[in-house]
DNA sequence: ATTGATGCAAACTTTTTGCACAGAC
DNA sequence: GTCTGTGCAAAAAGTTTGCATCAAT
């Protein structure tokens, strides 16, 4: 999925194409599987010399989240990190308890735990699996 | 692990036994595998007629977290939820995207995805596996 | 022309910090 | 008596909201 496809998708839903929206999506597309905070996106926008108000960034991220277009991960310090869903090929993250660095691992949950430590030279201490969906009442 | 054991453990590390600390630990022990926010703990303290300043709660949770005695889960709205690690028998959570309810599932990541939907009548839409540990540099 | 989008400032929520006083050892 | 713990108030950080204005369709 590229910039134009995303914009067309939003346009179909009644959302306009604006320079700010373009910049934010461009930044997210560039980052691929990297997780970025709202502040991080802001900095990237500045690098592109396309200053974008932080409020606008939040509002666009919320919009993207509504249509399930971004993956939102909340880190241990409570800050939200985002990346586009459309470019991810289903994988997960290694999060270093030392430096907080988030690294991508390409495989899916099942059976990765054992052969992970050596292949990434990452010492596993803990893991969190959170499953989302709808419970009996909400279904 | 019960209240006295926890208090002894902390005392060994140089931390004093105070009524507030006792109340907070008592509340956490009662909740077993339930996840509680700092505010939630506050409410429970009030129910016990042992009012405890919210700051004190945060400070004690931080202390417990330092010694890896609590499990800290951050939800999608950015609020931290806690429970004691010492009473959990390694499991994970189902988080309803509708109401946000967090329910315990007793098994571990591997191979639960397939037989989950029917056994809990929970419609899975998404899941997040986050692995924590130390990377090459931090090791 | 209409309706959504933006920018600014201010509000809000959760969490953290500074400081004086209280209390556990 | 010492030193950690507490409560209060204020600050900080991230995020959200209200409102007037701007701009894409």
Q: Would you give per-residue pLDDT tens digits along chain A (139 residues)?
A: 889 999 999 999 999 999 999 999 999 999 887 889 999 999 999 999 888 999 999 999 999 998 889 988 888 788 899 999 877 666 666 666 555 566 666 655 544 555 555 555 666 666 676 666 666 666 5
> Which range is least confidently modeled, A31-35, B4-8, B38-42?
A31-35
pTM score over 0.95:
no
Alpha-carbon distances, residue B20 vs A66, A112, B5, B49, B58 (angstroms): 42, 42, 16, 11, 12
- Highest averaged pLDDT of the listed ranges B71-80, B116-125, B128-137: B71-80
Contact A78 B79 (CB under 8 A): yes
Residue B46 in tokens: 């009030």
Residues of A in contact with B130 (CB under 8 A): 73, 92-93, 95, 127-130
Measured in angstroms, the CA of A83 and the nearest CA of chain B are apart by 14
Name the one residue in this structure whose structure tokens are 């909400």: A138
Q: Domain ranges in chain B? A: 3-84, 92-133
pLDDT score for B61: 96
- Residue nearest D23 (alpha carbon to C1'): A18
Rounded to whole angstroms, the Cα distance separating B9 from B28 reads: 16
Strand C, CB < 7 A, residues 18-77 of A: 18, 20-21, 51-53, 55-56, 59-60, 63, 77
Q: Are B10 and B21 in contact (CB under 8 A)?
A: yes
Q: Are the Cβ atoms of A97 and B133 closer than 8 angstroms?
A: yes
Domain at A92-133, CATH homologous superfamily:
Ferric-uptake regulator, C-terminal dimerisarion domain (3.30.1490.190)
User: Band of the pLDDT at B76, cuts 50, 70, 90?
Assistant: confident
Q: Is B62 part of the contact surface with chain A (CB cutoff 8 Å)?
A: no
The values of phi and psi at residue B92, to 5°, are: -135, -175
**Distance separating alpha carbons of residues A72 and A16, to the nearest angstrom:** 23
pLDDT of residue A138: 63
A29-52: string of b/e by CB count within 10 Å (b at 16+)?
bebebebbebebbbebbeeeeeeb
The tally of CA atoms less than 13 A away on the side-chain side of residue B136 is: 6
Per-residue pLDDT band for B33 (boundaries 50, 70, 90) equals confident
CATH architecture label of A3-84? Orthogonal Bundle (1.10)
* Pairing relationship of beta strands B123-134 and A92-96 according to DSSP bridges: parallel
Among the partner residues A99, A133, A138, nearest to B138 by beta-carbon distance? A99
Does residue B125 register a pLDDT over 70? no
Same topology between domain B3-84 and domain B92-133: no
**What is the predicted pLDDT for the residue at A85?**
85
| DSSP letters for A87-120 | T--S-EEEEETTT--EEEE-S-STT-STTHHHHH
């Amino acid at each position: 999925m590229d910039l134009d496809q995303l914009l067309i998708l939003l346009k179909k839903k009644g959302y306009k194409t604006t320079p700010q929206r373009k910049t934010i999506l461009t930044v997210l597309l560039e980052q691929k599987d990297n997780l970025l905070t709202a502040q991080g996106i802001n900095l990237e926008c500045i690098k592109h010399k396309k200053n974008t108000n932080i409020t606008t960034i939040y509002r666009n991220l919320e919009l993207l989240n509504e249509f399930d277009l971004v993956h939102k991960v909340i880190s241990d310090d409570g800050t939200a990190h985002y990346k586009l869903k459309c470019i991810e090929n289903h994988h997960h993250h290694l999060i270093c308890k030392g430096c907080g660095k988030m690294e991508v691992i390409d495989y899916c949950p099942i059976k990765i735990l054992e052969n992970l430590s050596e292949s990434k030279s990452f010492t596993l201490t803990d893991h969190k699996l959170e499953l989302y969906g709808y419970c009996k009442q909400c279904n």
